[in-house]
Structure 1
Amino acid sequence: MKKYELLIVAAIVMADAFSKGIIVRVFEYGERLEVIKDFFWLTYLKNTGAAWSILEGQLWFFILISLVAMAGMVWYFLKTEQRQVILRVSLMFLFAGALGNFMDRLLLGYVRDFLSFKIFAYYFPVFNIADISLNVGVGLLILDALLEGKSEHGKS
């Protein structure tokens, strides 16, 4: 693993931890501040599940799954080649996001969420920087698979 790759992961994890720390210091649990009218709020919530509070209260399940997933990501990352840039970056984002939420669960027993959006009358589940990192990682993983599939299709 290259030094800059570790720095990317560390920067995401630190941004996640720092933003969560600020929210906890500034907001009371459940407090909500409208930032952009009818679109974006800062809302401090404690999530003991996953998105939409799925499997709420299953702390040890999430800790175990996170450990297995992170170990798998590291193993897979180490097997990738330097030229597989999109795949490597996707794994860095996935690992950083998983680590950010894992640390919350391990240290606090819940994940601190605070970003809330409403688009076309739909309120998205409240989330955090680690969740953004996970979603970016998934998006890049899909992009990599599509590009690899297109590349393989072009060779046949």
Structure 2
Amino acid sequence: MKKPGSPIIPLAWLLAVVVLDQATKAWVMDRFAMFELLPVIPGLFNLTYLTNTGAAFGMLAGAQTIWRQVFFVGVAALALGVMAFSYRQFRNQGKIFAHAIGLIAGGAVGNLIDRLRFGAVVDFLDFYVGSHHWPAFNVADSAICVGVGLFILGSLLYPPQESEK
């Protein structure tokens, strides 16, 4: 019988993402006024201090505060539960899944901390081309996207083995 995978990889990613996410957000909040903009690569990338009370792309930003908070905290708790379940299901299928799950969980926790502390998520990475801006995001959002990408890649590289009868 194959030995179950160790939870060290996803826990290390979770911790690293949360620390980096919260450190970068603290730096931005300390150095920038709300909506202040610092061009880093003109025509492509700015640092700016924004908050998002909604979900991705500002969805649900106009909902009543208490219900919005309950919803997002519930969604984050559910996502973390799904990540724990997913780890149990995928831990023996390849380390790529452990990395993916850790990144996604770390991103969920990083943004959950913001919602609990500030009632909104701090965003500061602003990419654009001309007048076309991608919605601002943060380290936690990036970790979630990279984690999902790794999970998809792992699913393509390591398809589930059919169980023997």
TM-score by length of 1: 0.89
Identity of aligned residues (%): 35
TM superposition shift of 1:81: 2.9
1:126 corresponds to 2:136:
yes
Report the equivalent of 1:136.
146
Cα 1:7–1:148 change in 2 (3 A) is: closer
How many residues get paired? 152
Q: Structure 1 stretches of 5 or more lacking a match? A: none
TM-score by length of 2: 0.84
CA deviation map 1:112-139 (0-9, x unaligned) = 0000001365210000000000000110
CA RMSD of aligned residues (A): 1.9
TM superposition shift of 1:80: 2.8
Q: Is contact 2:20-2:139 (8 Å) kept?
A: yes
Report SS of the residue matched to 1:143.
helix
- The structure where helix makes up a greater share of residues is 1
Cα 1:19–1:98 change in 2 (3 A) is: same
Report the equivalent of 2:12.
7
Aligned AA (2:149): G
Q: Is contact 1:49-1:59 (8 Å) kept?
A: no
Cα 1:110–1:125 change in 2 (3 A) is: same
> 2: CA distance between counterparts of 1:90 and 1:102?
18
Quick one: which of 38, 45, 52 aligns to 1:47?
A: 52
TM superposition shift of 1:88: 1.4
Report the equivalent of 2:73.
63
Q: Structure 2 stretches of 5 or more lacking a match? A: 1-5
Quick one: which of 33, 38, 51 aligns to 2:38?
A: 33
Report SS of the residue matched to 2:158.
helix
CA deviation map 1:56-115 (0-9, x unaligned) = 142221111110111121122133334521111111110000010011001110000000
